[in-house]
Amino acid sequence: MSFTLLPEWAPQDAVMLTWPHQDTDWADILPQVEPVYIALCQHISQVEKVVIVAHNSELRAHITEALIAADVDMAQIVFVDAPCNDTWARDHGPLTTRDASGQLSVKDFTFNGWGNKFAAELDNQINAQLLAQVVNPANHYERIELVLEGGGIEIDEAGTLLTTSECLLNPNRNPHLSKTELEHELSNILGAKQFLWVDHGFLAGDDTDSHIDTLVRFAPNDTLVYVSCDDPQDEHYAALSAMETQLKSFCTPQGQPYNLVALPWPKAVFNDEGDRLPATYANYLIINDTVLMPLYGDDNDAQALAQLQSAHPERTVIGIDCLPIIHQFGSLHCITMQLPAGFLKQD
């Protein structure tokens, strides 16, 4: 039985959010962060369900009250009760594969807090609670020892897997595996048929060791959407220019170059301690009929929306203010995980 990871634009049942709370690093800025989560629920619930992981019953009641006040259709909300260390659903959430018959297999990889930088014991148990509470029992489920985060990989409809050397080959993830061995593992587990390794590019303030979803994304029809820095004085300029050159050298399985869509570079944003925050337009989320893109109150927001629309002409691109989210060094895609059609139990 051969399963292949689904591209993000495959039809979806829902998007998963793990809600921030007082016991997470969000505690000091919850009043600024929660409106972003509520806005996501408002938009996502119009086209699919929202699966919300709630740390405890008190938080679940609080979320319910907030969503009702925001006129969110509660019939579109599915709660999962599970304690959590943090809220980066992209990285602790499940990766879902499908075989030729349409059978789904939910892959529960090991999450080690981006190379044991942060506690992740509770987050690493969330997928088991998904399985127990909301996953369609007809789906296959597999717990996997391999360390992998959803934000670290992209895949397209041809089975080409896109990633960064800095993340997947970092010794803080799977030090016992060589590049060739890791490709073999990911081919077996995720059905990857070709690998594109991005060897350049980073974001200051990023804790993930250069997740691909902050730098380069797949779009349908052999398209790569990527961040481009046009300021030679910016600390990212050399690395992102080298990344752009490498992207131009990549070829599809048919030997053709990819269509490249460049996203603009937002101006530098800093926190009160003077740390640069990882603002990137590449950290967008594809859902049914829509793409949700992070905005930062930047002069380039409008251009980024237009560029992303050109890469997804069949979808409506909507901007979400994500300035509060980058204060915890992630953005919109990092706090979400799509769950494809057939993932959830039937009503």
Model confidence band, residue 1 (pLDDT cutoffs 50, 70, 90): low
Query: Is the C-alpha dihedral spanning 50, 151, 160, 240 positive or negative?
Result: positive
H helix runs in the chain, sequence order: 30-44, 57-69, 89-92, 113-116, 126-133, 165-168, 179-190, 237-249, 301-311
Mean pLDDT along residues 190-213? 97
Q: What is the DSSP string of 211-249?
A: -GGGTEEEETTTEEEEE----TTSTTHHHHHHHHHHHHH
**In this structure, how many other beta carbons lie within 10 angstroms of the beta carbon of residue 332?**
25
pLDDT at residue 172, as a whole number: 97
Would you say residue 279 has pLDDT above 70?
yes
Percent of the chain with pLDDT over 70: 100
Report the residue count for the chain: 347
Mean pLDDT along residues 229-246? 97
Q: pLDDT for 37-61, tens place per residue? A: 999 999 999 999 999 999 999 999 9
247: CB partners within 8 A, 6+ apart = 198, 216, 224, 226, 258, 260
Would you say residue 71 has pLDDT above 60?
yes
Mean pLDDT along residues 161-183? 97
**pTM higher than the cut 0.95:** yes
Beta bridge partners of 54: 81
Domains identified in the chain and CATH numbers: 4-340 (3.75.10.10)
Mean pLDDT along residues 209-214? 98
Q: Is 107 helix (H, G, I), strand (E, B) or coil?
A: strand
